[in-house]
Amino acid sequence: MDALVMTEPSHGTDRTEVREIRTPRPGPGEVTIDVGYAGINFLDVMARRGDAGYAAAWPYTPGLEVSGTVREIGPGVSSLTAGQRVAAFTGAGGLAEVVLVDAAYVVPVPDEVPARLAAAAPLMLTAALILLEDAAGLRPDRTVLVHSASGGMGNAFAQLVPVLGGGRLIGTVGRPEKAASALKSGYDVVIARDGDLVRAIREATDGAGVDIVLDPLGTAMLETDLAVTAPGGRVVLFGNAEGGQPGPLPPVGRLIGGNLSIGGFSIRGLWASAPGRASAGLLRALTLLADGRLNLAINEVESLADVPAVHQSLAEGRGEGKYVVRLRGERAGG
């Protein structure tokens, strides 16, 4: 079968290739999936550039989320049947024609959900949903600030916050030309991070500040986050887009005195440590898609050979919305 393989760490496309490799077979507790669509993620790029904790070994087969049909079932798996439409968090290896997964990471896909949308759910949409509801504790009418608002996660937050009852939605982007796509996905205000951000956010909230900050930028923006968070508010750190060593957290006294909380979130960590919670989130994400309540911005590419260029675009911060690749089956709109 064909799979995308990263042979060594690289900041470019030169060490990523489509290779024919052995088709996996499931062991106890596992299934294989004929991949219909695979999600393409910034986390693949972090693995590609060699960030610690992303590629377990080299060569590395990237790909963290798929939709497709169950191909083969390993011993001890009774919850799934061959041919069933499913979505799965894959851990690695999802950018391939067939992927091997732990059965606990697989959930059925409702008939109403097209495969191309389902492929964006196990990592991206589930992360955005659980992050908002659990890690950020979103409640009605809360003001939410999202950094990197024009990307895949940024788009998912913009779609989810109104559905979950949230209020004003403020996004930041690294370059002014990215503001239009974030505004289109539903942000009330989008601010480029090239000026006095604290002042701009305060103005956008009539001085009140925000209740929740969703920050994938390591600790680079943490001072700003704390400066614009209202008392009782919460900052959730969920990425380290620049790579490198994050800086220290602020002194406890500042958090206590300011009535501020800082939390962390990792969907990969949740799938590994609490798969039941992650799969419940995925089921809920798929239900929201089935209800037609989310209008995710999905960009589809046609083959594995197109994926290195998408990774490069994400690596250069040029991505807008979410990217998926079609391996087989239903075409766009299907």
**80 interacts with ligand NAP by CB under 6 A:** no
Does residue 267 interact with ligand NAP by CB under 6 A?
yes
Among 157, 123, 190, smallest CA distance to 297 is for 157
Our finding on whether 92 is near ligand NAP (CB under 6 A) is no
Query: At closest approach, how far in Å is the CB of 138 from ligand NAP?
Result: 16
Q: C-beta of 152: minimal distance to ligand NAP in Å?
A: 3
Backbone angles phi, psi at 190, to 5 degrees: -125, 130
Dihedral angle over CA of 17, 23, 27, 31, nearest 10: 80
Quick one: which of 314, 324, 325, 327 contacts ligand NAP (CB under 6 A)?
A: 314
Picking from 45, 92, 95, 63, the residue whose alpha carbon sits closest to that of residue 241 is 45
Q: Does 151 bind ligand NAP (CB under 6 A)?
A: yes
Min CB(317)–ligand NAP separation in Å: 4
Name the closest residue to ligand NAP (Cβ).
174
CA 222-238-92 angle, 5° bins = 150
DSSP-derived secondary structure letter, 333? T
Q: Is 95 in the site for ligand NAP (CB under 6 A)?
A: no
Interface region with ligand NAP, contact rule CB under 6 A, candidates 50-58, 95-103, 146-154, 204-212:
146-154
Number of residues that make up the chain = 334
Q: Which one of 54, 60, 105, 238 is in contact with ligand NAP (CB under 6 A)?
A: 238
Distances (CA, A) of 76 to 31, 33, 70, 91, 104: 10, 17, 15, 21, 12
Q: Which is nearer to ligand NAP, 71 or 322 (CB)?
A: 322
Are 260 and 229 contacting, i.e. CB atoms less than 8 angstroms apart? yes
Q: How far apart, in whole angstroms, are the C-alpha atoms of residue 195 and residue 214?
A: 20
- d(C-alpha 281, C-alpha 270), whole Å: 10
Residue span binding ligand NAP (CB under 6 A) among the ranges 5-13, 160-168, 170-178, 205-213: 170-178
Question: What is the closest distance, in whole angstroms, from the C-beta atom of residue 218 to ligand NAP in the complex?
Answer: 9
Contact between 282 and ligand NAP per CB under 6 A: no
Write out the DSSP string of 271-325: HHH-HHHHHHHHHHHHHHHHTT-----EEEESSGGGHHHHHHHHHTT---BEEEE
Query: Nearer Cβ to ligand NAP, position 5 or 241?
Result: 241
Q: Identify which of residues 19 and 193 has a Cβ nearer to ligand NAP in the complex.
A: 193
Among 4, 31, 34, 42, binds ligand NAP (CB under 6 A): 42
Task: Report if residue 263 touches ligand NAP, rule: CB under 6 A.
Answer: no
**Residue 220: partners with Cβ closer than 8 Å, 6 or more residues away:** 242, 247
Binding residues vs ligand NAP (CB under 6 A): 41-43, 46, 123-124, 127, 147-148, 150-153, 173-174, 178, 216-217, 238-239, 241-242, 265-267, 314-315, 317, 319
